[in-house]
Amino acid sequence: MTTPHFYNGPIINGYESSMWELLELLLQPLNPHYRCCPQIALELMCARDRNHYLQDSDLWKFWVSAKVDFAILDRSPGSDSKAHLAIECQSHYHDDPDRQSNDRKKAQLLAWAGIPLLYIRPLDQDYRYYRFYTPTLSHDLCYNLITQSPQADLQTLLQDLLTSPISANTLSSTTVQAA
């Protein structure tokens, strides 16, 4: 019997690892029970009633195979163990039309589930700066990774999204069809 050639591969890349560290640093003062969990399956976060069939086969395939870079959970005693915020690390690769289509699908599925979505993207002109923004641009902030400024504003943005998920991330019901 031939042994398959599997190896222990990395779960996240260097960019995501840096963002994970930053998110943990920012979340700790907000609530010591917040946990940042990497690479969470979209089908776990966006649960659906098993009695209702997802008719769009492309959307179903995407739903069962896609992951969210980070999910923020509240592990306080008595908490519901559900994602309170999804975070996606963006880069120039997401400028590709196919990637943008998948990004819109993911944003719509999360919106339907009532989970706010926050994008993080390094600025092309200066990699010290990262842009934190929502799909609707209701929240949009530029953060300096070196000076950690404006840290208080970024923590406020995170707290806003974590405490008011539905209003912060509403997308139209036609977003996926337009993708």
Read off the pLDDT of residues 26-56 as tens digits, 9 standing for 90 and up: 999 999 999 999 999 999 999 877 766 667 7
* pLDDT above 90 as % of the chain: 62
Average pLDDT over the chain reads 87
Contacts of 130 (CB under 8 A, 6+ apart): 19, 120, 121, 122, 123, 142, 143, 145
Any domain includes 4: no
Q: Count how many domains the chain has.
A: 1
Any domain includes 160: yes
Helix (H, G, I), strand (E, B) or coil at 118: strand
Any domain includes 25: yes
Any domain includes 6: no
How far is Cα 129 from Cα 142, in angstroms, rounded to an integer? 6
Looking only at the bridges linking them, the beta strands covering 129-133 and 34-41 are unpaired
**pLDDT at 94 (0 to 100):** 81
* Owning domain of residue 23: 14-168
Range 64-101 burial, b when 16+ CB lie within 10 A, else e: eebbbbbbbbbeeeeeeeebbbbbbbbeeeeeeeeeee
Domain of 128: which CATH number?
A: 3.40.1350
Any domain includes 65: yes
Report whether pLDDT(70) > 50. yes
- pTM (2 decimals)? 0.85
